[in-house]
Amino acid sequence: MKKNAPIRRGKPSRGHPPVAQERAVDVRLGRIVRLLMEHATVVVSGTKIAREISSNRSEVWRLIQQLRGLGVDVAGHPATGYQLKSVPDLLLPDILVPLLRGTIFDAHLHHFYKIGSTNTAAMAAAAAGIAEGSVFLAEEQTAGRGRGSNSWESARSAGIYCSVVLRPPLPPSEVLVLALAAGLAVRAAIAQVDSRVNTDLKWPNDVLIEGKKVCGILTEMNSEATQVRYVVVGIGINVNQANFPKELEGEAISLRLATGSEWSRVQLTAALLKSLDREYRNLLENPDAHDSILRRFQERSSSVRGRSVHVDENGGFEGVTEGLDSRGFLQVRTVQGVRRVLSGPVRPK
């Protein structure tokens, strides 16, 4: 594992779209949660739920057990019926849509209990013409992808795994600035939920706490030479992980580990999408946004200036960071002069 690649483990397996059977389970779980939420104050019989999902009571029991495994607090058993004990912290469209009204993300939310990769699904859907503002959210990814050829640890219901489809009327050269804006949006969302958390941005797309990675962003696009067709911004945030696999220890951190308390993924996802909506609209509508994003990114990153780094690119080179250029690329002063970093990774020397 590369030293500067927290949260990335080995080569990812390819992100397959969810098989039809898994998707069908997803839909059934969603329907049960919705039904229980609609009848939050009463016990709902297994028979009623079975009828609702066109199944039988033993299948309902199996699905209820699965929901419990996902952290949904359901009381009861087949003989008594079922009742939700608290609103689940699941990233369900029914819960999120009302919190996202007025943003470009309030119309097409797709939730998966399990998926290969939300980015892979979003890229495929974008290629097939899905609307701008479509959001793909998963409780768990089995083939979460990071930058380069890395994977993304995506434990069930512990993090936020979110990909959004954008269709900006911009040249491809502007997508780096959009990616930097996504980092600013994550930072603002975390600060909005808990202003005491100190985050640091690492070029191009990491959000760090205490030098460890709390969020990674994978921005992918399809474009013509001068015009973007679509962009998928995939955001992974470590929220409630109590620990990480051994190889990520010392490199990764969750908001829970940083603050000592559980976070609401629903609240943070809503804050994130609202903040991303603001940054995106600003970039499209405000002629000063490009410069403002570069300035704010540099103000909020302790490593874009004056840091001795090694860049794993073009055979590798070393130097001292010297801020971002006008297009958003990191500049590094080397013995041969200033070099522009195209993608990195960049790690402290």
Footprint on this chain of ligand BTN (rule: CB under 6 A): 7-8, 117-119, 141, 144-147, 150, 152, 161-163, 206, 216-218, 234-236
Residue 101 Cβ vs ligand BTN, minimum distance, rounded to whole Å: 24
Q: Count other Cβ atoms within 10 Å, centred on residue 342.
A: 12
Amino acid code (one letter) for 65: Q
Residue 129 Cβ vs ligand BTN, minimum distance, rounded to whole Å: 20
| Choice between 150 and 254, CB closer to ligand BTN | 150
Instruction: Please check whether residue 239 is in contact with residue 158, taking contact to mean a CB–CB distance below 8 angstroms.
Output: yes
| Choice between 18 and 76, CB closer to ligand BTN | 18
Provide the phi-psi class of 323: left if phi over 0, else alpha when psi is between -120 and 50, else beta. Answer: left
Q: Residues of 88-107 as b/e, b for ≥16 C-beta within 10 angstroms?
A: bbbbbbebbbebbeebbbbe
| Choice between 74 and 206, CB closer to ligand BTN | 206
| Choice between 117 and 199, CB closer to ligand BTN | 117
Q: Which residue has the tokens 């969810």?
A: 18
| Choice between 141 and 254, CB closer to ligand BTN | 141
Residue 232 Cβ vs ligand BTN, minimum distance, rounded to whole Å: 8
| Choice between 74 and 217, CB closer to ligand BTN | 217
Residue 196 Cβ vs ligand BTN, minimum distance, rounded to whole Å: 24
| Choice between 147 and 290, CB closer to ligand BTN | 147
Beta-carbon-side half-sphere exposure of residue 306 (alpha carbons within 13 Å): 4
Residue 195 Cβ vs ligand BTN, minimum distance, rounded to whole Å: 24
Residue 162 Cβ vs ligand BTN, minimum distance, rounded to whole Å: 6
Q: Which of 216, 21, 220, 222 is nearest to 127 (CA)?
A: 222
Residue 118 Cβ vs ligand BTN, minimum distance, rounded to whole Å: 4
| Closest residue to bound ligand BTN by CB | 216
- Give the single-character DSSP code of 302: S
